[in-house]
Amino acid sequence: MDELLQQINGYKQEVESVSAKSADEVEQFRIKFLGTKGIVKTVMGEMKNVPNEKKKEFGQILNEFKLFVEAKYESLKESGDAAEEAGDHYDWSLPGSPIAVGTRHPLSIVRNRIVSIFQRLGFALAEGPEIEDDWHNFGSMNLPEDHPARDMQDTFYINTNPDWLLRTHTSSVQARVMEKQKPPIRIICPGRVYRNETISARAHCFFHQVEGLYIDENVSFADLKQTLYFFVQEMFGKDVKVRFRPSYFPFTEPSAEMDISCLICEGNGCSVCKHTGWVEILGSGMVHPKVLENFGIDSNKYTGFAFGMGIERICQLKYRVNDLRLYSQNDIRFLKQFTSAI
């Protein structure tokens, strides 16, 4: 009987040392040890040769051996499955799942184009805060407290401090730059502005502007016209016509609004140009001497021009977007229609 015991111990060691890397190897183990002609069956068959007085003792030993082999089989099955998932049977040549690539927002595309056109003319990028104080947004821009032109821009004020507001135009950045920098100044500043308007297809409580400011000796209205004309040609192409109309802004004198020939109907008349063939794209003018003096710039020595345009309007003309609300709804079906290199 010692022989049988030795045999069992030998098998136990063998079982213990088995490891399987695949389902095939697990199956081989099962056939060898647990199959109909397997080792466990054979060893159990030895019971008939065991003398009666030892049957109880050996029965227990054989049973334990059987349970030991079955437990090993179960654990091999688990680790075999894991190994399989982890790679042995993985087809590495399968194509990967596509990674969705985002697109730039149409307003960012247009803003980047505007900024880069002016950068080529030597304008430097400038930025200012969206929460402003009265002085930078209004006062220094020649709009004293009781000035009726303040009503042109319905302002959001900050509850906790009546001096604070959400800037109504990027002209506040002109002020921020002039208080820090001496002429020559040549800056372009894109940014978000806020006005308390009811939201509709044609108006929103926030929108985006690009401000330009150029101050040096001998800057003239001809420079303003030529600079803006260059911009329009770069932005919209050589065939687009421009016209300047006299206008009023407290911070410029003289002031002018610039129209371009309607790109949607090519001047034939449509709802975008209100059947006039022209669309207004910006306000501009020669910087008011008072504004220069507010920042200690000698208005006898220096002159300058400034302009401000709405990015949404330019975007509307370029992409024919007819509802302002689309820009902030972030509907992926809208956003993915725009592509650009910059």
Phi, psi dihedral angles at 241 (to 5 degrees): -95, 155
Going residue by residue from 196 to 235, which x/- string records binding to ligand PHE, judged by CB under 6 A? ---------------x------------------------
Cβ proximity to ligand PHE: between 168 and 261 the closer is: 168
Cβ-based burial of 223 (10 A; exposed 0-12, middle 13-18, buried ≥19): middle
Residue 208, classed as helix, strand or coil, is: strand
**Smallest distance, Å, CB 282 to ligand PHE?**
7
Using CB under 6 A, pick the residue from 137, 252, 303, 316 that binds ligand PHE: 252
**Smallest distance, Å, CB 148 to ligand PHE?**
15
Strands (E), the chain: 124-125, 131-133, 164-166, 185-194, 206-216, 242-249, 252-261, 278-287, 303-310
Cβ proximity to ligand PHE: between 190 and 285 the closer is: 285
Which residue number places its CB atom closest to ligand PHE? 308
**Smallest distance, Å, CB 283 to ligand PHE?**
3
Cβ proximity to ligand PHE: between 40 and 167 the closer is: 167
Sign of CA dihedral 142, 148, 154, 160: positive
Q: Which of residues 129-188 bind ligand PHE (CB under 6 A)?
A: 169, 171
Cβ proximity to ligand PHE: between 106 and 250 the closer is: 250
Q: In whole angstroms, what is the distance from residue 106 CA to residue 317 CA?
A: 12
Using CB under 6 A, pick the residue from 177, 297, 306, 324 that binds ligand PHE: 306
CA distances from residue 22 to 68, 70, 250 in whole angstroms, order as listed: 21, 18, 82
Whether residue 284 contacts residue 307, with contact meaning beta carbons closer than 8 Å, is answered with: yes
- Torsion (CA) 161, 162, 164, 167 in degrees, nearest 10: 150
Phi, psi dihedral angles at 132 (to 5 degrees): -120, 170
Cβ proximity to ligand PHE: between 170 and 261 the closer is: 170
One-letter amino acid identity for 44?
M
Cβ proximity to ligand PHE: between 39 and 287 the closer is: 287
**Smallest distance, Å, CB 330 to ligand PHE?**
25
Q: In whole angstroms, what is the distance from residue 116 CA to residue 236 CA?
A: 14
**Smallest distance, Å, CB 333 to ligand PHE?**
31
Candidates 183-191, 235-243, 268-276, 306-314 — which segment interacts with ligand PHE by CB under 6 A? 306-314
Using CB under 6 A, pick the residue from 118, 123, 138, 249 that binds ligand PHE: 249
**Smallest distance, Å, CB 342 to ligand PHE?**
25
Whether residue 203 contacts residue 289, with contact meaning beta carbons closer than 8 Å, is answered with: no
Q: Which of residues 270-289 bind ligand PHE (CB under 6 A)?
A: 283-285
Cβ proximity to ligand PHE: between 40 and 228 the closer is: 228
Q: Which of residues 85-124 bind ligand PHE (CB under 6 A)?
A: none
**Smallest distance, Å, CB 112 to ligand PHE?**
20
Q: In whole angstroms, what is the distance from residue 258 CA to residue 269 CA?
A: 18
Candidates 58-66, 132-140, 235-243, 302-310 — which segment interacts with ligand PHE by CB under 6 A? 302-310
Q: Is 307 in the site for ligand PHE (CB under 6 A)?
A: yes
Phi, psi dihedral angles at 117 (to 5 degrees): -65, -45
Count of residues interacting with ligand PHE (CB under 6 A): 11
Determine the straight-line distance between the first and last CA of the chain, rounded to whole angstroms. Answer: 87
Residue with token string 């690009």: 210
Binding site for ligand PHE (CB under 6 A): 169, 171, 211, 249, 252, 283-285, 306-308
